[in-house]
Structures are given as C-alpha cells and as structure tokens.
Amino acid sequence: MSEPKATDAKERAGTGSSNGSLSSTQDGHASRYEPLSPLRAVSPRTGDLTPTGPIFAQTSAGTDAPSWLRPFFSLRIQLTTVYGLTLLLIIFIICMLLSTHIQAVYIFLIAFIITIAGIVANFVFTTILLRPLWRVTDAAQAIAIGDLQQRERLPLRLPPQDEIDRLAGSLNEMVTRLERAEEMQHAAEARFRRFFSDASHQLRTPLTSIRGFTEVLMRGAKDNPEVAQQVLQRMKNESERMTLLINDLLTLARLDEGQPLKAQYLDLVALASEGIEQTKRRLEDGRAIKLEKATEQGLGLQADKDRIKQLIFILLDNAVKYGRPAPDGFITLRLNRQGEDAILSVIDNGEGIAEEDLAHIFESFYRGQYRRSSSKISVIGTGLGLSIASAIVRAHDGSITVQSEPGTGTEFIVRLPCVG
C-alpha cells in the first residue's frame, strides 16, 4: 500500500469524529465544553507527526523533538541505521586486516562503495519486509479512531506464518468483538427506547381514562347516584390497572438489577399443586386443568418462594387467557426431572402462537401481532407477564423456552437447577 493511499484512508477514518467533549461534575451534570487536542500519530514511513483524531490527546516525548531527529522515529530508518553501522564496522575491521597488503586508498574506496551499496540494499529490503507491518499499523490507527471497516486492510493469512500474521489475527478478532459489542449496545438502546415508549403509553391510557371520568363527574354526573357509581367503579378499575402495571414494572426492574433472591429449599410439587388450585378457583368456564408428575425423583429447589409462585401463576394465567375454553379446552402442568434439572411445563390446546411471534414472545409489552385469545374475549393484562417470567428464570440460573404450532396449542418449558 502506498503512503498517499494510507494517508487518505486515515483521513477518511477520522471523518465524523468529535472535536470536543463535555466535562462532568461529581453530580453527573455536564459543566463545560472542552476541545480535545488532535491525535499525534507517527507515520511509519516518514516518521512525521500527523494529526489524525482525538484519540491520543496526551503529548508524547516525540512532539518536542527537533525536526532532524523525527525521521529516526520510523522503524525503517532505525533498522537501516543499525544495519548500516554494523556493516560499516565489519568493513572497517576487514580493511584494518587487509591494510598491509593493499594500498589504503583502494581499500577505503572499496569499503565506501560496499557500505553505500549495503545501506541502499538494506533500506530496500527493510522497506519490503515492513510493508505488512505498515498495513497493520495503518489499519490499527483507523480502527482506534472508530472506522471498524478498515479491518479489511489487515494482512490475514491462515494459518498464521509469522508474528505479523498473529498480530493481524488478534486485531481482527478484537474488531469482531467490538462490532458484536456495538451491535448489542444498539440493540439494548433500541429495546430501552421501545420499553420506555410502551410503558409511557400504557400509563397514559388509564390516566387519560381517569381524567375523562373526572370531567364527567364535574359536568354533573355526580348528581345522579347511579351514573356516579358507574363512573367511580370505572375509575377504580383504571387505577387498579395502573397499579398492576407499576408493580410489574418495579418487579421487572428489580429482577434486571440482579437484586439478591431470598433463596430457601422449596418443594416444586407443592408449589405446583398450590398454583393449580388457585387457577381452578379463578376459572369461570370449568375447563379441565390438571397436574402431571412424570418422575418419582425429588423435585427440590433452592429458590425464592415468592418468585417461583409468581412464575407458575404467570404461566398458568397465560394458558387461561390464550387457551381453548371449555368444554374442549384443557391446561396441563407437567413436572419432570432430567439430570440435575427440574422441568416444569405448562401446556394448553389453544390457538397457538404464530411463528412470527415466537422470537418476540418474551419481550416487554409484546402481545403478539398474530396472536389472539381462543375464547374471543379481550385479554386484560400489562404485557409484562412473560418478560417477568423470563427474568425470574434467569435469576435462578435456569432457562425458559416455548414450543407452539398455530391451531394445535402451546407449551412453555422451564428448566431450573434441582437440589436433593
């Protein structure tokens, strides 16, 4: 790669970088704008200091060096100088040994010619050998500025044949991880923005309803006891909905923060039986719901009792909402054990989940674009249930998956570490 091309690439890599920064106080508020000093990078070919960006703002020792000394910062000049001095010393010793047989003028003339030729040849060969290192250096500087696409300039050879190949391979792997981390950061930011927007919308809806009901009362509905009672009941329902949403948001936030769990020994069979009984009392259509235990082994857990009960409630409640109603509908909670894991499965024979929704089913506020209740009744909830269930399982070092086919039914499978 020629020097002008490398310089142009560096300039392109530095385009778009910021020229300043905001300094912060201890309370986290921005206080003032401080311009950043330009990057002073040493060109591997000329040894000149060139401004390329705000990465290395610190002043190096070479910045204050005299101009005649700067070329010696280049590795090529350093190697050529060392090899030239070594060659000159060898020739001088040979000349001293031959000075008794040949005239001194011829000896020094031959030594001078050999020295110049050796230095030129050494300069050329050093330049050729250092080209891969320059490519790595140029690419690394561009990557440091932020242009990760410059990884394509790295001289990669597989398997690695020398130190340059290993260095290029390490930089390439580093860029791969940086790209993956950047993608994860963008995805996390997008999820946060979507979560914040959805939460705001969900909170705004009941608040708007309460405000509307209040205006109805103020316009005279309070004078009619029957109408006033209906309005107050609706206001109560909306406030309960908002309370439920806020509680779910707090639960999800605490789980994501990784707050310590109140772990204790639990019998999963007893908790599942309790969850089944609670669900039966809430059912209004009398559909079949049962508990199946597919193993005789113990199903003990070292877990937070309230969180596991909440997990079972969420999965059963989800099956009630989206499962098929009586007399054809059924819900099964199956317990099993595989190795060191306890398996909890909740199965229903509802409409199922469309393939397009399966990848998003555990996202906050996601109700499913293609999913509907089998009972044709409007589903009431916050849209956070499965997100909370997933967070509870992760907090207990477990996993949760879903299997579903439209028109057949859905099965949620939870794996939790088993003890005893």
pLDDT digits (tens, 9 = 90+) for 364-379: 777 665 454 544 444 5
Greatest Cα pair distance, the chain, in angstroms, is 132
Question: So what's the pLDDT on residue 308?
Answer: 93
pLDDT digits (tens, 9 = 90+) for 220-257: 777 778 888 888 888 888 888 888 788 888 888 888 77
- For the chain, the average pLDDT equals 76
Can you tell me the distance from the alpha carbon of 131 to that of 213, in angstroms, rounded to the nearest whole number?
A: 77
Rg (CA), the chain: 36
pLDDT digits (tens, 9 = 90+) for 73-105: 677 777 777 877 887 788 777 777 766 666 667
Give the residue from 272, 279, 224, 246 showing the smallest Cα distance to 382.
246
Query: Token pair of 55, please?
Result: 């990465």
Give the residue from 275, 255, 259 showing the smallest Cα distance to 267.
275
Give the residue from 251, 253, 260 showing the smallest Cα distance to 396.
260
Burial (CB count <10 Å: 0-12, 13-18, 19+), residue 205: middle
pLDDT digits (tens, 9 = 90+) for 118-131: 888 888 888 887 78
Give the residue from 402, 405, 275 showing the smallest Cα distance to 414.
402
- Please tell me what DSSP assigns to residue 380: P
The more confidently predicted of residues 358 and 380 is 358
Query: Token pair of 87, please?
Result: 């060659």
Question: So what's the pLDDT on residue 160?
Answer: 66
Q: Which residues contact 22 (CB under 8 A, 6 or more apart)?
A: 30, 31, 32, 33, 34
Which pTM value belongs to this model? 0.55
Can you tell me the distance from the alpha carbon of 344 to that of 416, in angstroms, rounded to the nearest whole number?
A: 8
191-257 adopts what CATH topology?
Answer: Helix Hairpins (1.10.287)
Query: Token pair of 200, please?
Result: 């705001």
Quickly count: other Cβ atoms within 10 Å of residue 294's Cβ.
11
Domain boundaries, the chain: 3-155, 191-257, 263-417
Give the residue from 312, 347, 311, 354 showing the smallest Cα distance to 329.
347
Cβ–Cβ < 8 Å for 235, 229: no
Question: So what's the pLDDT on residue 194?
Answer: 75
Question: So what's the pLDDT on residue 411?
Answer: 93
- Comparing 191-257 with 263-417, is the CATH topology the same? no
Degrees, nearest 5: CA angle 237-241-242:
120
The more confidently predicted of residues 255 and 389 is 389
Question: So what's the pLDDT on residue 60?
Answer: 47
Helix runs in 42-162, H state only: 75-98, 104-145
3.30.565.10, 3.40.50.300, 3.40.630.30, 3.40.50.720: which CATH number matches 263-417?
3.30.565.10
For the segment 299-310, the average pLDDT, to the nearest whole number, is 91
- Is residue 39 pLDDT above 70, yes or no? no
